[in-house]
A and B are shown apart, each in its own frame.
Chain A
């Protein structure tokens, strides 16, 4: 009697979504839910929870003929590498954990993922984009890998940034980046891409800044006096805002084009109207172009009581990552992480996500080619532009393409 009482109380406390431990698929969601990277972490978590909520509402995932619900384990890594490492160790020690989704900061990925890989626990990295998160395993010549990435990595992003600058008929650009691993590798990616795309851009100035810098006048005046027609930039929110504000102050009207971090709320808010016209690659834009994306955006706004998703890219990636993970569990017919990994590497059924329809997003790990565990290709990424405090489609063609792709699928059904 007493036991049932406690049991029903627990069910009440945890909400109707949670069933008995033995009947659930345990999935950990980690990321920074406080601090400077929180807009991305929180959006990713909340997007993932929407997906989990809708799966559980439909009865759960079919695992070998038995419906099982997803159970969330949440951990806040505060964007700190050492906390990330501790959390990864804790998760690696859980015997019944099926997988991990999350991590925003490339440094945290580098500090923690090795513990999960050792135990063969599936981790889907999203939305951390730094190239090193996956290339570390290629460099280590890992024979087998349980780490997957679900984010447009910096290589794709740099290619798009360079492409955009060329399309806009610029010939002289300045590269400005922060002095962290993320900024420096972004600069290298940009330089590589300029060479790869036929050296149509001349880099007239290369400047860097440190985290916490507020005054970018010197770097900007270098770029200005060298005659740069556009600024290609790699950094994170607060410093990017300082650059945009410094450009306005120095009367520079050149466009800022850079990594997806230019869509961070702390860039858009701190730069205010100076952010207008900024261009960056995005995997998801908070505009209801398809019924699927409209449903997702409406659900997010309603459930979390906001009118703007803090980081739409993170939210959509969190959502789709859960759907893909659930599809892998279903195909594996097991909650065992090793079997889920094998299923992920060879997903039979396409997964209808809010970003795209995912057709075999991953393939068998090849130690020489990390793109086998990368889900995003160029075609799932579009150019976004800041306009009046929101990110919108920069090119009408992209919006039309996405709307059409969805319409086409409908007919095919």
Chain B
């Protein structure tokens, strides 16, 4: 197998890895403020993609469809927070785990009933004809994925560091009770984090849909990998998920090239087991001190 093939396959895997990283980042956002994650995040990705597809079919241009999809994702995120998370947080129970899973299942069934079980192509103005960059074929579609993923993560990180609201977000992430005492509403902040997380999921859906097509099961494999990425990288570091995402995406494709496509998922799972055994807080995570 010559080198150009290997580089090609690693590069195209890495672009997919960025999508895993973006979905994993959505886990991080809610985990930071509330120590909860939405187990139905994959359905958020899928429902937002379907919604965006519907917008396009109704004649909305691309520049209007993207913010429309993001807004829909944010609203879904808020709905998940209200319906599944808030009460559980108030009662300091773990009920959110089951509730977010159930909401996810509900979302899946709704999608099947509204849009059917078929996969639909997702029209995009961005070309999928490859351009040749130093011996590697890259499509503008893949570049749009990279720009979109890194762009939104950069924006959110800037927001967290530069704005007052963002500082409140960081304060709640650091210490909820102390932030409450300083007059920051932790409920509002958790809502904000779920809205952001929903918007991030929607963007992941819009970016990946032209490559994978839109269907009720489009995110089921994606979400497992994003979860691996989040756990391996740790639930704190945005930079970490990007690095691990790129690595896992490339590794996956290498495995399917050398071991056969049936082994595609194997290195990711191995990585997950290793990370849990050796660094339970993730490679980029901080060791937690549990106060008793």
Query: Which residues in A have some Cβ–Cβ distance to B below 8 Å?
Result: 34-36, 38, 179, 207-210, 212-215, 217-219, 221-222, 224-225, 238, 241-242, 245, 248-251, 266, 269-270, 272
A270 and B121 within 8 A (CB):
yes
Cα–Cα, bound, A214→B256 (Å): 13
Give CA–CA (A225, B13) in the complex, Å: 18
Task: Give the docked Cα–Cα distance between A266 and B118 (Å).
Answer: 8
Partner of A215, one of B1, B16, B215: B16
Contact B121 A269 (CB under 8 A): yes
CA of A238 to CA of B221, assembled, Å = 16
Instruction: Report A-chain residues with C-beta under 8 Å of the C-beta of B1.
Output: 225
A211 to chain B minimum Cβ distance, whole angstroms, is: 10
24 sampled A-B residue pairs with Cβ under 8 A: A34-B116, A36-B117, A36-B118, A207-B261, A208-B262, A210-B262, A212-B221, A214-B211, A215-B12, A215-B16, A215-B253, A217-B12, A217-B13, A217-B256, A219-B256, A222-B257, A225-B1, A241-B213, A242-B212, A249-B12, A250-B8, A250-B130, A270-B119, A270-B213
Which residues of B37-56 have CB atoms within 8 Å of chain A's CB atoms?
none
With A218-B261, A221-B9 as contacts: A249 and B212 at CB distance below 8 Å: no
Closest 6 CB pairs of A and B: A218-B256, A214-B212, A218-B257, A35-B117, A238-B119, A270-B121
B217 touches A (CB below 8 Å):
yes
A179–B264 Cα distance when bound, in Å, is 15
| Complex CA distance for A352 and B213, rounded to whole angstroms | 42
B170 contacts chain A at the CB level, 8 A cutoff: no
Residues of B within 8 Å of A269, CB to CB, are 120-121
Could you say which residues of chain B place their CB within 8 Å of the CB of A179? 262
Within the complex, the shortest CB–CB distance from B69 to chain A, in Å, comes to: 20
- State which of B16, B129, B213 has its C-beta within 8 Å of the C-beta of A238: B213
Collect the chain B residues with CB atoms within 8 Å of residue A272's CB.
121
Interface size class of B (residues with CB under 8 A): 20 to 34
Q: Which residues of B contact A213 (CB under 8 A)?
A: 261
Instruction: Known contacts A249-B139, A251-B130; decide if A221 and B5 are in contact (CB<8 Å).
Output: yes
- CB-contact partner of A266 in B8, B119, B128, B129, under 8 A: B119
Chain B interfacial positions (CB closer than 8 Å to A) = 1-2, 5, 8-9, 12-13, 16, 116-121, 128-130, 132, 137, 139, 211-213, 215, 217, 221, 253, 256-257, 261-262, 264
Which residues on B sit within 8 Å (CB–CB) of A249? Answer: 12, 128, 130, 137, 139
Cβ contacts under 8 Å, A217 to chain B:
8-9, 12-13, 253, 256
B117, B139, B213, B256: the one within 8 Å of A34 (CB): B117
**B221: min CB distance to chain A, Å:** 7
Name the prevailing secondary structure of the A interface residues. Answer: helix
Q: Give the distance in Å from the alpha carbon of A34 to the alpha carbon of B117 in the complex.
A: 8
Which chain B residues border A208 with CB–CB below 8 Å? 261-262
Q: Given the complex, which residues of A lie within 8 Å of B2, measured CB to CB?
A: 225
A221 touches B257 (CB 8 A): yes
Known: A36-B119, A214-B211, A219-B261. 13 other contacts (CB 8 A): A34-B116, A34-B117, A35-B117, A36-B117, A38-B118, A218-B253, A218-B261, A242-B212, A242-B213, A249-B12, A251-B130, A266-B119, A270-B120
Give the distance to chain A from B118, nearest Cβ to Cβ, in Å: 6
A48 to chain B, nearest CB (A): 22
Among candidates B117, B118, B120, B261, residue contacting A210 with C-beta atoms closer than 8 Å: B261
Bound complex: CA A213 to CA B218 (Å): 10
Give the residues in chain B near A36, CB-CB below 8 Å. 117-119
Q: A250 to B211, alpha carbons, bound, how many Å?
A: 13
Q: What residue of chain B has the Cβ atom nearest to residue A219's Cβ? A: B261
Closest to B213 in A: A270
CB pair B213 A214 closer than 8 Å: yes
Query: Whole-angstrom distance between the alpha carbons of A250 and B264 in the complex?
Result: 19
Give the docked Cα–Cα distance between A207 and B137 (Å). 22
Which residues of the other chain, A, contact B118 by a CB distance below 8 angstroms? 35-36, 38, 266
- How far, in whole Å, are A245 and B121 apart by their CA atoms in the complex? 11
Instruction: Report the Cα distance A304→B211, complex, angstroms.
Output: 32
Are the CB atoms of B213 and A250 closer together than 8 Å?
no
Q: With the chains together, A140 CA to B119 CA distance in Å?
A: 38
Complex alpha-carbon distance, A251 and B130, angstroms: 7
Docked CA distance A214–B221 (Å): 10
**CA–CA, A283 to B281, complex, Å?**
60
- List the B residue with the shortest CB-CB distance to A245: B128
Pair A248/B253 contact, Cβ less than 8 Å: no
B274 to chain A, nearest CB (A): 23
